[in-house]
Structure 1
Amino acid sequence: MGSDVSKGRGSLFSKADRKAAESGDRAERVETTADGECSAKKIPFRIAGTGARAAQYRTIDHHKEEFEVKGMCDFFGVSRAGYYAWVKRLGKADPDQERMKQVQVIYETSHKTYGYRRITIQLQRKQGLRINHKAVLRLMHKLGIRSVARKPSPYRKVEDLGTYHRYPNVLDRDFVASRPNQKWVTDITYIRLEQGWAFLSIIKDLYDDFIVGHILHDRNSIALVIQTLQQAKQNEKVTDGLVLHSDQGTQYTSQAYHVLTAQYNITPSMSRRANCWDNAPAENFFSHLKEEYLRHFPFPTFEQARQLTTEYIHFYNYERIQLKTRQTPYETRCLSL
């Protein structure tokens, strides 16, 4: 057996055997990923390569009494010099030991609130140590410590939620409608209050720019858009084929919104990601509201904001003349009946 190993890749460690072993390693990595661990491709090559090389050296050292070192080095594709250098390092103390102690002391003194940046500053100022922040971060990883001042975010991407719905861009910037209640657009805007914020949800008919529904609330929630759609349905006769366009906000990707639009036989349409121009008519209305009216009443209370938005929407629908039609939205709407 030993003579076979000494031949390198000739017999026991042939190219076919090595390829089979590498294929097996890749399969194991895929299985590990499927089990929920970090994908290997997300590990930096420098770190992953160092860890794999150390594992190869440990395997060679473990079987050095059974097989020749040269043959095993050839099989793993590593140099004998590298292996023997690794062996020499085994008997030496960890060169990071002293600095790790210093990092640990500062970390404990800060009540575990310091991250690598503050620890780096403390090492440089208090102990006169010349060290890079990346080195401190590496030492903290070795110690298994991190700042408790910032916890990992509990929020997940909406794609990870089971109730997430995404719709195609059916409207596709075709903002012209041939009749009322054929194409609607909807959106939410923020209104700064004396204390906090208010959230205005509206639905606008693209035929005549008439605001068919609007709700002001102190929370930007799914209920806000649901109530707006319910109000619009009560105010208007909705027939099959109505397209309701929105952005990709979580309210519009929710299960409740999905169920309600299906119940009303409404076809949801959705803007492309981070593309406000796909919902330009809704944005245009909010611009008129804030520029023509709300900016004259800075920091209102919630009740004042409710009154102001109601007054302006009534003015916008029934009194404000549109230059493109020379009529109010209500007049244009009446002429279509």
Structure 2
Amino acid sequence: MKQNQSYTAEFRTEAVRMVLEQGLSQAEVAARLGVPKGSLANWVVKAKGPSKPFSGVAEASREELQAEVVRLRRELARAEMEREIGKKGRRVLCEGVPARYAFLKDRVHGKGYPLTVACRALEVSRSGYLAWLKRQPSQRARDDERLRVHIRAAHEAGRQTYGVLRVHALLRHQGQKVGRDRVGRLRREMGLCCRQKRCFRTTTDSAHTLPVAPNLLAQDFSADAPDKVWLTDITYVRTDEGWLYLAGVKDVFTQEIVGYAMSRRMTHELTLEALNRAVRYTRPKPGLLHHSDRGSQYCASRYRERLDALGMQVSMSRRGNCYDNAPMESFWGSLKNELLYQRRFATRAQARAAITEWIEVFYNRQRLHSALGYQSPVAFRQGLL
């Protein structure tokens, strides 16, 4: 004997909603849900309510039917609100009850949602939330609010480029006693993140017949004093007027950019100017190890003659191996990620001014370097005097 299929009130409500709100035909909904057309038709009629009295139905029955329709619609509205709140607060469901209370206060309470519905959606008790509202913030919560102000200031002081370690180091320099993990947690809650690095692209043209020097550095990026090992390289900057080429000289020991030059042409005069500026700034003694790639600008006879006149040892990377000059490549990555990729330059003059300010003011004198114990390169060099 075939048994009658029973359906829950929620199922009937959803079936009716598909017909009345989504505009689907009863036949389509019946086929999609696998229910008899007659049953679905009856559910729809009950949901709409009787349009006019008909014989055989008592007044009390009509009132009960209307009350049932109202109840179902109310349940449907509550379910929709719970689903909407749950979607907004999906993240805080994994962060503990206090985080849910805070989300409820900031994003839900007073926004048109019934408090009971919102509490059920976030899986917290209504009485517990109301008690939490009356409770005074703990000392740790007040300390967190104070730290958020300092973290925001450190984030801006680092030009939005500092990660957790540098922000933590800067706060410690300012006299704030705070743990690294706490800084990381507060940064995540505040939605702060540093600018992400992009992939490396090689720009060196070593297809020439000029003589090259052996790799004396051999990826040993260590020195026992300033002006013992210099790294050099060239990069390019896009402007609306065309390319601007930048040559730099970096001291391995202090991590400082001791010399740089910019030009619209990538020639050995560009690299020679950067070298001369570095020599005038630090006045190194003979014997300094000068390392570069195999680009024609560094293999040019005039450049090599200048190195010989200064008594510098010449070292060059292996062909196509960016790791042989990794610290210099890292500097280019920081420059591009923290400045060049964030702006568009209409002229070469604009790019020159921005790069000069970034190197002279921010990188050399303000930016904390992890290899220097979170000091700036200039502060580190001055501390040696």
Taking structure 2 as the reference length, the TM-score comes to 0.45
* Separation in 2, partners of 1:196, 1:308: 16
Contact 1:181 1:238 (8 Å CA) reproduced: yes
Runs of 4+ with >4 A deviation: none
Equivalent residue for 1:302? 348
* Separation in 2, partners of 1:258, 1:169: 15
Contact 1:190 1:198 (8 Å CA) reproduced: yes
Equivalent residue for 2:380? 332
Aligned residues: 178
Contact 1:180 1:336 (8 Å CA) reproduced: no
Structure 2, gaps ≥5 residues long? 1-205
Residue correspondence of structure 1 range 114-129 to structure 2 within 5 A: none
TM-superposed CA distance for 1:235, in Å, is: 0.5
TM-superposed CA distance for 1:165, in Å, is: 2.3
* Separation in 2, partners of 1:175, 1:336: 19
Residue in structure 2 matching 1:220, options 237, 243, 266: 266
TM-superposed CA distance for 1:240, in Å, is: 1.7
Contact 1:179 1:336 (8 Å CA) reproduced: no
* Separation in 1, partners of 2:349, 2:323: 31
* Separation in 2, partners of 1:230, 1:319: 25
Structure 2 residue identity aligned to 1:290? K
Structure 1 residue identity aligned to 2:277? Q
Deviations for 1:35-79, whole angstroms, at most 9, x for unmatched residues? xxxxxxxxxxxxxxxxxxxxxxxxxxxxxxxxxxxxxxxxxxxxx
Residue correspondence of structure 1 range 252-263 to structure 2 within 5 A: 252-263=298-309
2:231 match: secondary structure: strand
The percentage of aligned residue pairs carrying the same residue is 38
Structure 1 residue identity aligned to 2:366? E
* 1:280 matched to 2:330: no
Between structure 1 and structure 2, the one with the greater Rg is: 2
* Separation in 1, partners of 2:308, 2:277: 16
TM-superposed CA distance for 1:195, in Å, is: 2.2
Deviations for 1:230-263, whole angstroms, at most 9, x for unmatched residues? 1111111211210010000001111011100000
CA RMSD of aligned residues (A): 1.3
Residue in structure 1 matching 2:365, options 296, 309, 318: 318
Structure 1 residue identity aligned to 2:289? V
Equivalent residue for 2:146? none
2:327 match: secondary structure: helix
Structure 1, gaps ≥5 residues long? 1-155
Equivalent residue for 2:286? 240
Equivalent residue for 2:244? 198
TM-superposed CA distance for 1:300, in Å, is: 3.4
Contact 1:213 1:229 (8 Å CA) reproduced: yes
Kindly tell me: are residues 157 and 180 of structure 1, through their superposed partners in 2, closer, same or farther at Cα, counting changes over 3 Å?
Answer: closer
Deviations for 1:162-186, whole angstroms, at most 9, x for unmatched residues? xx22101011101111100000000
Residue correspondence of structure 1 range 145-224 to structure 2 within 5 A: 158-159=208-209, 164-224=210-270
2:234 match: secondary structure: strand
Residue in structure 2 matching 1:290, options 336, 354, 364: 336
TM-superposed CA distance for 1:208, in Å, is: 1.3
Taking structure 1 as the reference length, the TM-score comes to 0.52
TM-superposed CA distance for 1:299, in Å, is: 3.6
